[in-house]
Amino acid sequence: MRIELTSLFVDDQRRALAFYTDVLGFTKRHDISVGDDFWLTVVSPQSPEGPELFLEPADHPAVKPFRDALMEDGIPLAQFAVDDVEAEYERLTGLGVTFTQPPTDAGDAVVAVFDDTCGNLVQIIAMKPERASST
Amino acid sequence: MVVTIFRALDDETRRLVLDELASRDGQTLFEICSTLATRHGLSLTRQAISQHLGVLEEAGLVMTERRGRSKFHYFNPAPLAEITRRWPIPERTDP
């Protein structure tokens, strides 16, 4: 069994695509019209074969209260790995991205949390090199 | 009011929360929970920490502010002045 696709609900698929590609730097993989919505996925240019991230329409009525509650408490719904959290923090802040948690030492890793402008908080994480090799 | 301050301070977890907010102000519940777990090895439930924050907020030691769609917690030391107002620290007169 493998994880080849995971998903995030997004307020607006077109705006989400712009943020996840232009700002975060992912690459569009699928963009297929399905009724009023799209089968819209992105991948990391560092692993173009996937896993894919499906930017899923958030129109189900249960989605809003669920995500609003998590966002109020600062809880991220996805985590992406980066090489250097501090450098990504500087780069994304420069592009106007809002962080709810600046780079923070979390023991074995450095983490930070930002607002994806589509209704989600996303955590970025970099394992500390000295620890990553021993685990 | 004063009673609430003393009750709020009479708990190690709540004092640690104030320590963490004093060192970096403006944290979400998620960040406070992760910090207590990673830095202090405290594995309290999110609800328990949320209740501790409620006690601190009631005592005026923590203020909350909404930014965007998230809620941030700030340390407010002002009520602590009540302690030294009630029991002023005399200026030491060295002989």
Are residues A125 and A92 part of one domain?
Answer: yes
Q: Identify the CATH number of the domain in which residue A92 sits.
A: 3.10.180.10
Whether residue A38 lies inside any domain: the answer is: yes
Do A73 and B46 lie within an 8 Å CB cutoff?
yes
Q: What are the two backbone dihedrals, phi and then psi, of residue B13, each rounded to the nearest 5 degrees?
A: -60, -45
- pLDDT tens sequence for chain B (95 residues): 556 899 999 999 999 999 999 999 999 999 999 999 988 988 899 999 999 999 999 999 999 999 989 999 999 999 998 888 888 888 877 76
How far is the C-alpha of B58 from the C-alpha of B50, rounded, in Å?
A: 12
B95 prior amide bond cis, ω within 30:
no
pLDDT at B90: 86
Whether residue A65 lies inside any domain: the answer is: no
Are residues A89 and A46 part of one domain?
Answer: no
- Greatest pairwise CA separation for chain B in angstroms: 59
Domain boundaries along the sequence of chain B: 2-85
ipTM of the complex: 0.85
pLDDT over threshold 70, residue A60: yes
Average pLDDT score over chain A: 94
Nearest beta carbon to residue B68 from set A75, A111, A115: A115
The neighbour count for residue B72, using CB atoms within 10 Å, is: 20
Whether residue A66 lies inside any domain: the answer is: no
Residues A34-41 have a mean pLDDT of 94
Q: Show the beta-strand stretches assigned E in chain B.
A: 62-67, 70-75
Q: How far apart are the first and last CA of chain B?
A: 39
Are residues A15 and A43 part of one domain?
Answer: yes
Give Rg (Cα) of chain A. Answer: 15
How far is the C-alpha of B91 from the C-alpha of A65, rounded, in Å?
A: 56
Q: How does residue A90 score in pLDDT terms, banded at 50, 70 and 90?
A: very high
CATH 1.10.10.10 for the B2-85 domain, yes or no? yes
Query: pTM of the prediction?
Result: 0.89
Higher per-residue confidence, A3 vs B89: A3
Are residues A31 and A80 part of one domain?
Answer: no
The neighbour count for residue A85, using CB atoms within 10 Å, is: 22
Are residues A50 and A82 part of one domain?
Answer: no
Range of the domain at A83: 73-129
Best residue of A75, A85, A123 to probe chain B, by most B CBs closer than 10 Å: A75
Whether residue A63 lies inside any domain: the answer is: no
Task: Give the residue from A34, A14, A18 showing the smallest Cα distance to A26.
Answer: A18
Are residues A52 and A90 part of one domain?
Answer: no
Total structural domains in chain A?
2
Q: How does residue A133 score in pLDDT terms, banded at 50, 70 and 90?
A: low
Do B70 and A76 lie within an 8 Å CB cutoff?
no
pLDDT at B82: 84
Whether residue A119 lies inside any domain: the answer is: yes
